[in-house]
Amino acid sequence: MNIQPVSEKFGELYGPGAELFASPGRINLIGEHTDYNGGFVFPGAVDKGIVAAIRPNGTDRVRAHALDLGETAEFGLREEDKPAQPWARYIFGVCREMQKRGAAIGGFDTVFSGDVPLGAGMSSSAALESTYAFALNELYACGIDKFELARIGQATEHNYCGVNCGIMDQFASVFGRKGCLMRLDCRSMEFEYFPFDPKGYRLVLVDSRVKHELVGSPYNDRRASCERVAKVLGQEFLRGATMEQLDAVRDRISDEDYRRARYVIGEERRVLDVCEALQQGDYETVGRRMFETHWGMSRDYEVSCEELDFLAAVAEECGVTGARIMGGGFGGCTINLVRDERYDSFIAEAKRRFNEKYGHEPQVYDVVISDGSRRL
């Protein structure tokens, strides 16, 4: 993480005395688009994230500098003070959501930077929210618990950034633990750490460096599909629904809603299968479930794209243990579980074939499972 440049820029703009905080991005091994359906997710924090230098300034205004963009914003802490810059709304939203929970926070100066690859599905926005929620909670001694810090990040997305997201990204960023993945029950909010030490395998992201701009709100549309089906089933969420129940109401829902729900119901089962397989050290089953998730996201949930389907197919042909699209979809990266002896040949082949077809090489990131939000 870019600690030194952040400290130096803060000193240049605002003087000495800043404290440093960091929060990570995340990967999700399996359990995609299940969080807002009350299901299970299986994320881990990574060694890439956001680092921020922060110092209260004794006023009621925030002065913020985004180092990577070279942009500065200044705003107050009242609802009508919402800044124009999209990146600044994340910081503003965190402040407002903390105030709504009774936190007495004041103005502050801050500089932040990140090394979470943008657009790769590693949740740079959640890392940004978690960094400021954690930091302000510490600096102003607000006494807000870690789960509520994650909810503050989620509420920021809902109320200030126009994204109706689940809780997974913020949870993983706040609660991450080195060497562990976390199974989170998004309905009860109970979670469990699972040691993740795939000896003989490597976890790697292959980033297509493609992001398809879409008309409308495809993420919110899919959430609405799931909510419609749950309502027909007489449930709050799709969580716990069976294929038998879904088939019984097929004539009362659209084909599209049926396929969306079929994916979510299958994904709930796959997450539990993967947990069981990890406890037994059975990474081959983990890999098979990853491929099943990918093609379900592609064909039923329709959040993949040609480039990611191509990368998943190349992974299958290269004998990769498991691969799938990671993140909300429509671009970004695949997450791949690869045997050590196949790693080099797979990466070389994926780069070569992708470049031949699309005119640029994908970016490759080895995944290191790391700690969550913290003071540096």
Could you give the residue numbers annotated as active site?
Answer: 169
Cα separation, 154 vs 152, whole angstroms: 5
Asked whether the beta carbons of 123 and 41 are under 8 A apart, the reply is: no
The residue written with tokens 């903390």 in the block is: 98
Task: Classify the phi-psi angles of 203: left when phi > 0, otherwise alpha if psi is within -120 to 50, otherwise beta.
Answer: beta
Give Cα separations from 55 to 7, 20, 130, 150 (angstroms): 11, 9, 17, 22
Longest dimension (CA), the chain: 66
- Residue 237 CA neighbour count, 13 Å, CB half: 18
Could you say which DSSP state residue 361 is in? P
Cα separation, 333 vs 349, whole angstroms: 16
Q: Starting at the edge strand that comes first in sequence, how are the strands of the sheet with 322-326 ordered?
A: 322-326, 331-339, 201-211, 363-366
The residue written with tokens 């709504």 in the block is: 100
Asked whether the beta carbons of 208 and 331 are under 8 A apart, the reply is: yes
Cα separation, 352 vs 318, whole angstroms: 13
Cα separation, 231 vs 229, whole angstroms: 5
